[in-house]
Amino acid sequence: MTAAETSPEHLLSGPEKDPAGDAGHRDAPPRVGFFTDTSVCIGCKACEVACKEWNAIPEDGLSLSGMSYDNTQGLGASTWRHVAFIEQPTGSSGSRPPAPPAAPGPEGRALLPLTDAPAPAASAPGSGELRWLMSSDVCKHCTHAACLDVCPTGSLFRTEFGTVVVQEDICNGCGYCVPACPYGVIEQRPTDGRAFKCTLCYDRLGAGQEPACAKACPTESIQFGPLDELRERAALRVDQLHEAGVPEARLYGHEPDNGVGGDGAFFLLLDEPEVYGLPPAPVVTTRDLPAMWKHAGAAALSLLGGVTLSFALPALTRRKGSR
């Protein structure tokens, strides 16, 4: 049973206190998720590697992309964590904000500068300054997950932890979840046809362990825990950065009233979401499903009416003796 099945009108979109409970889990543990603080990410890709290792995900291409240090390029069937690398010119001549002072580290952790030392003037045009943005992306484990809503087999389901997982033995490879995801996360594996994505380490959660990617992250950029706690921590961290003179710090996906009812994995970003390849204001497609069914019903009736009319008109004209 999906949440949406029990009462479609109210559970397709909007704030939703208890996704696991609404999916039929009794006495569910608190909902867990990720807060990824990209301001401390050093782009080491330990999360990517740990995820591949733990989940035994096959290799998916060894090409050089030309996209900075990012040769993984994006999330997909065989990449469930993806570290984005963005090089931006900073300073007076660029359109970007000036390089901020070194940002404070979160409590009790090593201080990691937001910017590198200025690049040599010869190598970069303009002001000659560059800033790095690095961010580890993952499935958002949406409160209203379009992938789960549209899956015709029930292969995608909501776990007792409030996360969204694919059951490999049920997926029939219809591929409907792929275009439904507003974040472009889930994908079919070409060799296999079935859909795969981050499970939020369902197996590890069951054993009381934290997910492999969070465990491997050396800077605690990836923080795992109960979603409520993470939201509080994230709000504090954003305030801290603003006070330290990093006004462009912002949270992404944390509000429970956003288009997908809040992301189970949300982020602290240092630029607009689309710069990281994230949609600025995604909406779960099934929010509009009642309207779609209504219009499809009206269109079906119009079809019936139009054809009926086509049979009635010739009969009428014939009765009037025109033929």
Partner 1 sequence: MVEHAEFGSYYGRPVIKAPSWAARDIAGYFFLGGLAGAGSVVAAGAHLTGRTTTATAMKMSSLVAVGLSAAALVNDLGRPSRFANMLRVLKPTSPMSVGSWLLSVYGPAAGAAAFCAVTGRLPRIGAAATLGAALTGPAVATYTAVLASDTAVPAWHGAHRELPYLFAASATAAASGMALVTGATRESAPARCAAVLAAAADFAASAAVERRLGLVAETFRAGRAGALLRSARVLTGAGAVAAAGSGLLGAQARPVASAGGLALLTGSALTRFGIFAAGIASAEDPKYTVVPQRERLAAATAAA
Binding site residues, ligand SF4, CB under 6 A: 50-51, 54-55, 80-81, 138-142, 145-147, 151, 153, 155-156, 164, 166, 171-177, 181, 183, 185-186, 194-195, 197-201, 211-213
Based on the shown chain and the rule CB under 8 A, indicate whether residue 316 belongs to the binding site for partner 1: no
Beta strands in the chain (DSSP E): 32-37, 81-90, 129-138, 156-158, 164-166, 187-188, 195-196, 222-226, 250-252, 265-269
Per the listing, tokens 């303009």 go with 126
Name the residue nearer to partner 1 (CB basis): 188 or 223. Answer: 188
Based on the shown chain and the rule CB under 8 A, indicate whether residue 116 belongs to the binding site for partner 1: no
Based on the shown chain and the rule CB under 8 A, indicate whether residue 275 belongs to the binding site for partner 1: yes
Kindly state the smallest distance separating residue 77's Cβ from ligand SF4, in Å.
10
- Residue 118, amino acid: P
Q: How far apart are CA 149 and CA 141, in angstroms?
A: 13
Total residues belonging to the chain: 323
Q: Is 254 annotated as a binding residue?
A: no
**Cβ atoms < 10 Å from Cβ of 178:** 18
| Helix, strand, coil shares, percent, the chain, to 5 | 30, 15, 55
Q: Is 142 annotated as a binding residue?
A: yes
Based on the shown chain and the rule CB under 8 A, indicate whether residue 276 belongs to the binding site for partner 1: yes
Based on the shown chain and the rule CB under 8 A, indicate whether residue 73 belongs to the binding site for partner 1: yes
Based on the shown chain and the rule CB under 8 A, indicate whether residue 245 belongs to the binding site for partner 1: no
DSSP 196-213: E----SHHHHHTTPPPHH
- Within residues 189-208, the interface with partner 1 by CB under 8 A covers 192-195
Based on the shown chain and the rule CB under 8 A, indicate whether residue 181 belongs to the binding site for partner 1: yes
> Helix or strand or coil: residue 290?
helix
Name the residue nearer to ligand SF4 (CB basis): 200 or 249. Answer: 200
Based on the shown chain and the rule CB under 8 A, indicate whether residue 136 belongs to the binding site for partner 1: no
Kindly state the smallest distance separating residue 305's Cβ from partner 1, in Å.
9
Out of 48, 149, 160, 263, name the contact with partner 1 by CB under 8 A: 149
Q: Strand 164-166 to strand 156-158: parallel, antiparallel, or no bridges (unpaired)?
A: antiparallel
Stretch that binds partner 1, among 46-54, 210-218, 262-270, 307-315 (CB under 8 A): 307-315
Longest dimension (CA), the chain: 95
Based on the shown chain and the rule CB under 8 A, indicate whether residue 302 belongs to the binding site for partner 1: yes
Q: Say how far residue 198 (Cα) sits from the centre of its chain.
A: 10
Q: Which does 300 bind (CB under 5 to 8 A by kind): partner 1, ligand SF4, none?
A: partner 1
Based on the shown chain and the rule CB under 8 A, indicate whether residue 269 belongs to the binding site for partner 1: no
Q: Strand 222-226 to strand 32-37: parallel, antiparallel, or no bridges (unpaired)?
A: antiparallel
Q: What residues form the annotated binding site for [4Fe-4S] cluster?
A: 41, 44, 47, 51, 139, 142, 147, 151, 171, 174, 177, 181, 198, 201, 213, 217
